[in-house]
Amino acid sequence: MLRQSLASGHKRPMLQAPTGFGKTLTAAAVIQMALDKGNRVCFTVPAISLIDQTLDEFRAEGITDIGVIQADHPAVDWMARVQIASVQTLARRALPDTDMVLVDEAHQAFKVIFNWMADRPKLPFVGLSATPWTKGLGKHYDDLIIAATTRDLIARGFLSPFRAFAPSHPDLSGVGTVAGDYDEGQAAEAMDKPQLTADIVTTWLKSGENRPTLCFAVNRAHARSLEDEFRAAGVTTAYIDANTERDDRTKIGRAFATGLVKVVVNVGVLTTGIDWDVRCIILARPTKSEILYTQIIGRGLRTADGKEDCIILDHSDTTQTLGYVTDIKHEKLDAGRMAKGRKAEPKVRAVKLPKECTSCTYLKPAGVHVCPECGFAPARREDVATVDGELFQVQGGKTKDDRATKQRFWSGLLWYCDERGYSEGWASHKFKERFGMWPRSLRAVPATPDVHCRNYVRASQIRYAKGRGKEQKTGGAPDAA
């Protein structure tokens, strides 16, 4: 597919494949193809700490003509036809003369790469990423090649299936948004609560089956609280983050493999090459980012001997707002904002959200009534309307939606007001229609709408278009837009 893309004139194809697809093998094959044609290749990695590992991996694949672009590195060899460089080093040095650039983890928008692309319009750049969904990536890359999806690879046995549970629901109503995701400090504050931490540990003891577990925390302080609580319960833990030295990481990895360490609490170690046999993921770090979420869950989907599945203990409500990772799909690269004066359409996708089993907290796929985990079947309610496979309680029904849900919904509606110029009255009416009350006590902070809000607004537009909505009565003209 990549060869076809390049042959048909694309200069900047993006190759999407999930963690576990065999990215190193694929990259090695692409490099070998280039070398066979007498071409030189530059392979870029997102951190200096990844250079040695990448070098080892390529050597293991039989690529030997490799140099490293990094001052004082023993493998510096400017004559080698394959050069490995970190984007940080590239930023400070002259760019190497090469015939092709492979950009690893290309969803991270590297300025140095974008500038290099702009300077050399004819030089082919191939992006590699499990999650090439960054805003504006389509302005730099010109083709999206989906080599495989997580869903495919699970179905074909190359990735592990998973079972997700939602044991606790944090109150994120006061957490603001920075660059599209939760404000880190505020999210840490919302998550670093004694009761929540205790719940994370007791849930793991009860349902974690003593599995090798990777726990995602918001920041260092939050990670420390979690470690303390696990230790107090007699569970051996370790901590890693992006600054952990490779040797230490290897040591911890070994202890993890032998069961000496059961739970590794981490902050943001997604691209640092954690290649372990993880069978349980604790999500204690809420995120609005499909990229981050997919990368996190990807750490638990590697197959291994004797591994039947991965248990996801989601204490962050992420699965319920973003859906299963297997349902996240983008057919095109994001082209970013449209020309000045025109607003880009908000992305509206009908992701079918899983629903929590009220008996065992298992997150059931949309539309599944009887819990596959515990067999519990909730009583059917008549005041529930089905919209795009998701259940909404309609006006008049007793709502058990908590404050956080209401705040998210309200903030989402305010975002539509900002984006589309709708009045706040429109938002208030939409809110009342959904919850049967006015959003009086909620904070007027716009935030990117979650799937729930987007689906609701979209469904009400469909109702309006069909002429049987209540919008006409309230004069909700914006819905016609």
357 sits near Zn ion (criterion: CB under 5 A): yes
Q: Give the Cβ contact number of residue 34 at 10 Å.
A: 20
| C-beta closer to Zn ion: residue 2 or 164 | 164
CA atoms of 454 and 422, how far apart (whole Å) = 15
Site for Zn ion (CB under 5 A): which residue of 91, 255, 350, 360?
Answer: 360
User: Does 373 interact with Zn ion (rule: CB under 5 A)?
Assistant: yes
CB of 368 to Zn ion, least distance (A): 10
Tell me the window of 109-117, 237-245, 353-361, 421-429 that interacts with Zn ion (CB under 5 A). Answer: 353-361
Least distance CB 363 / Zn ion (angstroms): 9
In the complex, least distance from residue 372 CB atom to Zn ion, rounded to whole angstroms: 8
Q: Which of 230, 236, 241 is nearest to 197 (CA)?
A: 230
Nearer to Zn ion, 241 or 373 (CB): 373
Burial class (CB in 10 A: 0-12, 13-18, 19+), 408: buried
Q: Does 359 bind Zn ion (CB under 5 A)?
A: yes
Q: In whole angstroms, what is the distance from residue 447 CA to residue 413 CA? A: 8
**Between 356 and 479, CB nearer to Zn ion:** 356
Rounded Cα gap, residues 149 and 344, in angstroms? 27
Query: For Zn ion, which stretch binds (CB under 5 A), given 117-125, 288-296, 372-380, 418-426?
Result: 372-380
Pick from 159, 163, 140: nearest CA to 150: 159
Cα distance between residue 365 and residue 357, in whole Å: 10
Q: Using CB under 5 A, which residues numbered 216 to 275 contact Zn ion? A: none
What number of chain residues touch Zn ion (CB under 5 A)? Answer: 8
* Closer residue to Zn ion, CB minimum distance, 226 or 371: 371
**Cβ–Cβ under 8 Å, residues 66 and 42:** no
With CA atoms as reference, report the closest residue to 313 among 230, 256, 404: 230
Q: Is 376 in the site for Zn ion (CB under 5 A)?
A: yes
Stretch that binds Zn ion, among 73-81, 159-167, 373-381, 408-416 (CB under 5 A): 373-381
Give CA–CA dist 9/5, Å, rounded. 7
Q: How far is CA 474 from CA 14, 63, 79, 469, 477, in A?
A: 47, 68, 72, 10, 9
In angstroms, what is the minimal distance from the CB of 364 to Zn ion? 7
CB of 377 to Zn ion, least distance (A): 9
Determine which helix (DSSP H) or strand (DSSP E) holds 60, and give its type and residue range: helix 51-60
Neighbours of 440 (CB within 10 A): 7
Nearer to Zn ion, 334 or 373 (CB): 373
List Cβ neighbours of 397 (8 Å cut-off, separation of 6 or more).
381, 383, 384, 436
Query: Which three-class secondary structure state does DSSP give residue 474?
Result: helix
Task: Using the minimum distance from each CB to Zn ion, give the nearer residue, 175 or 357.
Answer: 357
Least gap, CB of 294 to Zn ion (angstroms): 25
Q: Which is nearer to Zn ion, 362 or 464 (CB)?
A: 362
Closest distance between Zn ion and the C-beta of residue 373, in Å?
4
39 near 100, Cβ under 8 Å?
Answer: yes
Q: Is 378 or 389 the residue whose CB approaches Zn ion more closely? A: 378
Residue 371 interacts with Zn ion (CB under 5 A): yes or no: yes
Comparing CB distances to Zn ion, the nearer of 165 and 426 is 165
Residue from 125, 162, 293, 362 in contact with Zn ion (CB under 5 A): 362
Instruction: Give the span between the Cα atoms of 57 and 53, in whole angstroms.
Output: 6
Task: Output the smallest distance, CB 307 to Zn ion, in A.
Answer: 22
* Residue 199: CB minimum distance to Zn ion, A: 18
- By CB under 5 A, name the binding residues for Zn ion: 357, 359-360, 362, 371, 373-374, 376
